[in-house]
Each structure stands twice: as C-alpha cells, then as structure tokens.
Amino acid sequence: MSSLYVYPSFPMTKYYPLFLLLFLFGLESSLFAHELYLKDGRVINTSNVWRDGDTVHYEQYGGTISISYTKVKGVVYDTPQEAEENVDPEITSGGQSEGEAGKRSIPPEKDLAAKLTKALAPKTPVERASMCTLSVKTAAGFGSGFFLSDDGYIITNRHVVRGSEKQKQKVETTIEQNRQNLRRYKRSLDTAEKQYKIYRDDLEEKEALLKELRQAGQVERAYFKAKQQELYEAEKRLRREEQRLAKAEKEYRSKKKAFDKQAEKFFRSQRELARQGSFTIILADETELYASLYRISDDHDLALLKISGYKTPFLHPVQQKELAQGQKVFAVGSPVDLKLKNTVTSGILSAFRDNFVQTNAQIYPGNSGGPLIDSEGRVIGVNTKKLLTRKFEGLGFAIPINLVFSEFEDYLLHQ
C-alpha cells in the first residue's frame, strides 16, 4: 500500500488523481518512487529524498543532489509498506525541530571519520586538520581540497576542476611561440633544400664540362686537373649539405612530433576538464573515492564537490574577528607530487587584503584548494595562489572561509 506525505502548503487536491492511480494499480517503482515539487514548477523524480536542516537532499542518476529547503514546495512519497520505517520524519511532517528529526544511519564501512581517525590516530589539531584534507585528481593534473561538512561536501579551487584561465593563456602563448619557431625552422629547411639544388646543379654542370674536355682531348693537363679538383670539392660540398639537410629534417620531424603530441595532450585535457563532472579524490589514508561536482563559483576561485552516503571528518571554520595579524598559520595540501600529499607548511597571517588572507606560509603547486588553518586546526581560508617576486620567496593568498559559506549557502550550513 502506498503512502502520501505532503508539506502544509502542498496542493493536495491538484495531485489527488496521481495518488489515486498509484493506490489503484499498486505501482511500486524502486527507481523513481517519489516526486519532489519545486516552487519554480519543476517536478523531480527520485528514489530517495530527505531533509537535513535547511537543506533537502535527493538521489538521482547515481549521485546525491542538495538544494535549499526554501526552494521546495512539497513531496509526494510512494513508499512500499516494508520501507516506511526508513522515511525521514522531518521532511514528511513538513518541519520538525532538528532534535526531533530522524537521523540516517551510516554503516561502519561508510563512516570515514571513524575510519580515518583509527588509521591515522591524529595527535594534534593540525594532524586532525590534515586528516580532513584530500587530493583531487583531474584530467589535467591534481590539486587539493578538504571536507567542510560531515556529509561529504568538499571545497577546492575552481581552477583545480576547470583549469586556470591565466595558465591556459600562458600555455597557449607558449604553444603559439613554438609553432612559429617550427615555421621558421621549416623555412630554413626550404632554403637549405634550394641551396642543395644549386650545389647539385653546379656539380652536374662541372661533370658535363669535364666530360667534354676529356672528349676534346685538346685541353691542357693543368687546366683539366683544376676542373677535376673543382668537381671533387663540389661533390664534397654536396655530401655535406646532404648530411646537414638530412639531420635538420630529422630534428624538425622529431620536434614537430613532440610539439604536436604535447599540444594535443594539453588541448585534450582542457576539453576533458571542461566537461568533467566526477573526480577521483585521495584521502589521507590513500583511500580513493569519486566525488561529484556540485557547484562552481562565478566570482571566486572556488568549487564545491561531494561524496554521497558517507560520514566524513570536516574542518570547523574560524571567525575572522578571532584572527590576529602575526599569528601562526599552517597550509595543508599536496605540493608538486601526489607522493607529497598532506604536506604541512607554516607561517604567519600577514594581512587581510582585497578579500584574501595573506600569508608567508609556503603554497606550492598542487597546494591549491587545500586549507589554511590556525593552531587549533580551524580553517581560515582556501589556499588559492602565490605571488612571486624577485626579492622574496613569495606571498601566499587564501580565500576567507566566511566567503566560502556565503558563496555556497544553499549547500553548506555553518558547523
């Protein structure tokens, strides 16, 4: 027997025929059993839907999608009798308090918080923060990220999952410069081939002249010897040009092949990255999982990923008013190589500047997307870039964590 649950504002009479059909025919589809009605008029079919605070989660196409509770108009549940006990009472009742809301049970194998704690046994707040940090593998390389909720939300940089426009332009400029160098090389080859033809024609003329002299038999011996020497020198020059030209052509083909391969690899990775929606993440204990891309910020170098069905360790944010210039901070991430993942560097909080937290803690390539934390392991911001100068090792910048929550407020609640 099917059951119907609605929010108080849900138009029961409008959808009564649907409920009647489900009741009469006993339809029990395990694939799309429930209907989620949004205020913008859309209807989403899903096999599972539940509410967690101000967020509604539903499963579709093998992943979990989350939206703000304020966007939901109502839900029609078609629940087989034996599964009714799994229905989250918070969403079916239309808004119980958080203390009354049903809690989804997580099997032990899905409890990453417990698994990582047992495997890594962190002793300090910084080690606990490192436990919450992960590596993100993409079609173009890798970066860092970290958990910011206990249900699998991950923060990283936009350029980690979509590539850096500045870096892309730099590589494209280099590719174009190499392409122009190859064109100049090819023009030099064409010139060398023309010169080779001139030498060859000259040799043929000298050979013909020497043949005539032999046949005439009326030329002085010294003159004949001189022409023989000219022919010999012309032959040597032609052989040298042949060798030089063959070597140059071989080098050109090799360089062009390598260039074409690298250029195609770059553009292919950019195409793949542009449409990549699922990423391999590597946890602190080497566990590999797949995370779905949920949101990319239009205004900031931020992206939101999620792994579904897991309980995850996560970093708690620190309020900016609690921070002080000169205090010790730590950058966590995977610099240069995945073998160096979850590396920690230390420094001080240098300044707050133009929506960035400035630090002298080393932020290496691959650290992008990792957390900048304080001594208590609380996240201050998201490592995003490094400014290099001629006189200094470099200044690191992180996006403040309060901006992250503001950007993804439909998905993240302050912990």
pLDDT for 217 beyond 80? no
Does residue 98 lie in a domain region? no
Residue 108 in tokens: 């032990």
Indicate the number of domains in the chain: 3
Q: Nearest Cα to 368, choosing from 397, 339, 403?
A: 397
| Angle subtended by helix axes 221-275 and 165-216, to nearest 10 | 160
What six digits make up the tokens of 20?
Answer: 């009647």
168 has pLDDT over 70: no
Q: Please write the tens of the pLDDT for every residue from 218-242.
A: 566 666 677 667 777 777 877 787 7
Q: Per-residue pLDDT averaged across 39-60, rounded?
A: 79
Q: Is 109 helix (H, G, I), strand (E, B) or coil?
A: helix
Measured CA to CA, the distance from residue 205 to residue 321 in angstroms comes to 90
Domain identity same for 148 and 292: yes
At 116, list the tokens: 């990582």
In this structure, what CATH number is given to the domain that contains residue 395?
2.40.10.120
What's the pLDDT score for residue 29? 38
Q: What is the pLDDT of residues 52-108, one digit of tens each?
A: 767 888 887 667 788 888 888 877 765 433 333 333 333 332 333 333 333 456 788
Q: What is the pLDDT of residue 3?
A: 36
In this structure, the answer to whether residues 397 and 338 fall within a common structural domain is yes
Tell me what pLDDT residue 101 has. 33
Q: What is the mean pLDDT of residues 164-184?
A: 69
The C-alpha torsion from 13 through 15 and 19 to 20, rounded to 10°, is 60
Q: Answer whether residue 209 is part of any domain.
A: yes
CA 158 to chain CA centroid, Å, is 7
Q: Which residue has the higher pLDDT, 132 or 10?
A: 132
- Rounded to an integer, the average pLDDT of 153-167 is 83
H helix and E strand count, the chain: 8, 18
Shared domain check, 255 and 151: no
> 394 lies in which domain range?
108-158+280-407
In the prediction, which pLDDT does 15 show?
A: 37
Within this chain, do residues 264 and 303 fall inside the same structural domain, yes or no?
no
In this structure, the answer to whether residues 288 and 266 fall within a common structural domain is: no
Average pLDDT over every residue of 153-180: 77
Q: Judge if 300 and 373 occupy the same domain.
A: yes
- The closest of 186, 340, 192, 208 to 255, measured between CA atoms, is 186
So what's the pLDDT on residue 394? Answer: 67
Whole-angstrom distance, CA of residue 353 vs CA of residue 415: 26
pLDDT tens-digit readout, 305-351? 999 889 999 999 998 889 999 999 999 988 756 567 778 999 999 99
Structure tokens at 229: 């020497």
- ∠ CA 337-339-343, nearest 5°, is 85
Task: Inform me whether the pLDDT recorded for 20 exceeds 60.
Answer: no
The confidence score (pLDDT) of residue 262 equals 79
260 and 301 in a single domain? The answer is no
**Is the pLDDT higher at 389 or at 282?**
282
Residues 232 and 294 in one domain: no
> Does pTM surpass 0.75?
no
pLDDT at 30 over 70: no
| Closest C-alpha to 367, from 344, 348, 346 | 344
| 236-293: pLDDT as tens digits | 877 787 787 788 788 878 888 888 887 777 777 667 667 788 899 999 999 999 999 9
Let me know whether 149 and 247 are in one domain.
no
pLDDT tens per residue, range 119-151: 999 999 999 999 999 999 987 788 999 999 999
Residues 170-178 have a mean pLDDT of 71
Q: Which of 63, 62, 14, 17 is nearest to 37 (CA)?
A: 14
Q: Residue 37: inside a domain, yes or no?
A: yes
Which pLDDT belongs to residue 316?
95
Q: Which of 8-12, 40-44, 127-131, 221-225 reaches the highest mean pLDDT?
A: 127-131
User: How does pLDDT run across 194-210, given as a tens digit for each residue?
Assistant: 777 887 787 777 778 77
Q: Is residue 285 located within the same domain as residue 397? A: yes
Residue 103, in any domain of the structure: no
